[in-house]
Structure 1
Amino acid sequence: MSSSSTVTVTTWSLEQTAPSDLRPAAAPPGDDVRIVRAEVPSPEFSRFLYASVGADIKWVDRLGWTYAQWAEQIGRPGSETWVAYDRGTPAGFVELAAQDDGVVEIAYFGLIPAFRGRRIGGHLLSYGIARAWDLAERRPERTPTKRVWLHTCSLDGEHAMANYERRGFRLFRTETAEQPEVASPGPWPGAFPSA
């Protein structure tokens, strides 16, 4: 008989209710970082970003998705993926998901581990929030954005919550639940830089 262990996970939901709530971070020094929208939906590229960014923080909910599920998710109206590049190399992404009544969720945001600690995260998050607020300018079929929200949890990176709060997000809900403990799959064995 096998037993599975659980872990207590706290999930925090945060929101902005006006574009003026955004407190942008400064861009990293130099001009090495560019942020570009991935305009051609690519399940392969989206899965690469998801697995590479989330490997050490236990993002596992999409790992079992089929190609068709990825294609459906990123092909939805109002879905956008913005990618940060450091000298041409993908460094992280922010995925926007438009919802009903002018609501936009920041569905995923993060950096590939090797790019953390370089002041890219605050800049990418600021850029992604601004794109959530002006989504209807690129998607005229959408209602203008009235609210931007996201959730983070105690399994996320140690600086995630502070970054969200510094960008002007306010907490509106806290939930705690027991979840099965999962191992960090990593993009492949041995991929993490040694400490």
Structure 2
Amino acid sequence: MERFNEIERGKIAAIATSLELRERPPLRPAPADLPGRIVAWPAPEREAYLALYRKVGAPHLWFSRLYMESAELDALLAHPGTAIFSWRVEGVDEGLLELDFSEPDACEIKYFGLTERLQGTGAARALMNHAIETAFARPIRRLWLHTNTIDHPRALAFYRRTGFRPIGQSLEIADDPRLNGALPRDAAPHVPIFE
């Protein structure tokens, strides 16, 4: 196997790390005086969900939900195995947590993120505590997620401090969502565009 493999132009590439918890860890303290609150968002309306998905995810080139057919995304958002929460500040959604309970005995954190407005405030800790409590309130044997090298630069360390253990890596290659209009061209300026 070649050590270096050229990535086709028009693509983005990232190393994805999968991590898991096999038991509920002790919750790490979060500030008590955070602005806003976590709100359950059962079966959100598609356009409202996508607006928050873009708002939180564009700096990290989240794209998969943007490519889903409307009917498929509607079904996923309404699925009983999907649990969605927003972090709401004065009526404005500033964070997204999406849990997937569709795998027996497991929960995947599909999406977890906050807007820049809340980063560094301790809100991520409170949102993760909520994810852990919600997941382990069910009879699961594992809570897992993946992060990649395009995510927030402190994401991997944050998950490890929480107690998640890395279990594997993979190379993720996809069409650059800034080139097909799914995300604005100025999203994630730290990731070069190769046309």
The aligned length equals 180
Residues 49-87 of structure 1 deviation map (CA, whole Å, 9 limit, x = unaligned): 211111111111221334322211111122100111234
Partner amino acid, structure 1, of 2:92 = T
Q: Secondary structure at the match of 2:143?
A: strand
- Structure 1 length as normaliser, TM-score? 0.80
* Superposition map of 1:2-81 within 5 A: 4-19=9-24, 22-30=25-33, 32-81=35-84
Distance verdict in 2 for CA 1:87–1:115, change over 3 Å? same
* Superposition map of 1:28-177 within 5 A: 28-30=31-33, 32-134=35-137, 136=138, 144-177=139-172
Q: Secondary structure at the match of 2:108?
A: strand
Partner amino acid, structure 1, of 2:31 = P
Identity of aligned residues (%): 28
Indicate if the aligned counterparts of 1:10 and 1:154 stay in contact, CA closer than 8 A: yes
- Structure 2 length as normaliser, TM-score? 0.80
Residues 81-105 of structure 1 deviation map (CA, whole Å, 9 limit, x = unaligned): 0111234321201100013321110
Gaps of 5+ in 1: 137-143
> CA shift at 1:181, angstroms?
4.3
* RMSD over aligned Cα atoms: 2.6
Partner amino acid, structure 1, of 2:50 = R
Indicate if the aligned counterparts of 1:55 and 1:186 stay in contact, CA closer than 8 A: no
Partner amino acid, structure 2, of 1:17 = R
Indicate if the aligned counterparts of 1:4 and 1:181 stay in contact, CA closer than 8 A: no
Q: Secondary structure at the match of 2:133?
A: helix
